[in-house]
Amino acid sequence: MPKDLQIPSTKNVAFEVFRYQLVVDKTMQADAFKNYESPEQLRADKNNIFKDVITNKNFRFNSSSTNIKSKLLYQKDDMYYFKISTRRSARIYKEDFTEDTIDNYPNIIVAINNDPNVQKIAIQSSSTPFKDAETVRRFIIESVDTKMKSHSLSFYLEPIFDKQDFWHFVRKYPNQITQLNFSFISPNLANISKNLTIDLKQAYEDTNMHKAKFEMNAQKDSVLKIDEDGKFVKGLVSYIADGGGTDGGITAKILGRRDVLNTAQNPNEFSIDEKLIKDNNWDELDKLFKDILL
């Protein structure tokens, strides 16, 4: 190979993956459901309502703490692609050796798969416009939940993580775990709740429960026995890892330590070639996102 031949390096852009759920508030009076005769009818149409909200020409993501701009740039089938920016100051150096400050508007992509059996959102994890994807997650909830509540729906958006993160933790601290806390949302996606041995759906139907916590504590001076083949814990871990968690997902305490594990801090990630984004190659990007956000 000639030594002056340069092979361009490929730069990738990282995204973190989250799951959203749309839960009906069953305590609303019948006339509050507007065009629906029952909560069941409203639940069946929840994804169409969500689509109407995010595609409304006046819809914008907003934040009470940051001045942001957003725009729906591309949509196809159940896929929706937004760009979100915020103002940042950038220092430039001029030809006459003086300096100046200009406004800069770095942006990220937020991709949404509104298939009723998927309901995933990918958030570009760039620190230039925003501190992290968690910051973006919070203002997405802030922007969408208010709109959904006017339709008697609540919007939850939680990280998806590798359930092996939990089991690695269990193996790392054998016979040392004294407490486990599971925080979760009432399920409305059958494909992620099928392994649950606790009937969260029935609890919701009976009580209108949207969120719940289950805490396991060992006897004083003892530890919990956590078996990877145990169906109860395995089912909860699987459901929360698939985006059914909330308020930290799964946390744990072990002998002599506190809050060693917090699964919400390590969401699943994937990367896409930066050139596709810079070229606004939406057809190719759409194919990639559809294969990833399944």
Q: Quick check: 73 pLDDT over 90?
A: yes
Are 70 and 202 in the same domain? no
pLDDT of residue 26: 82
pLDDT of residue 30: 53
Asked if 69 contacts 86 with a C-beta cutoff of 8 angstroms, the reply is yes
What residue numbers bound the domain in which 30 lies? 12-160+267-292
Are 172 and 153 in the same domain? no
Q: Quick check: 107 pLDDT over 90?
A: no
Total domains in the chain come to: 2
Mean pLDDT of the chain, nearest integer: 86
pLDDT of residue 106: 82
Q: Quick check: 66 pLDDT over 50?
A: yes
Are 103 and 152 in the same domain? yes
Q: What's the rounded mean pLDDT across residues 126-148? A: 89
> In the chain, pLDDT over 90 holds for what percent of residues?
49
User: What pTM was computed for the model?
Assistant: 0.87
Q: How confident is the model at residue 189 (pLDDT cuts 50, 70, 90)?
A: confident
> Quick one: how far is CA 137 from the chain centroid?
7
Buried b (16+ CB within 10 A) or exposed e, 272-292: bbeeebeeeebeebbeebbeb
Are 256 and 277 in the same domain? no
Q: Quick check: 258 pLDDT over 70?
A: no
Asked if 154 contacts 148 with a C-beta cutoff of 8 angstroms, the reply is yes
Are 258 and 171 in the same domain? yes
Top-confidence range, 3-7, 88-92, 125-129: 125-129
More confident residue, 120 or 12: 120
More confident residue, 188 or 78: 78
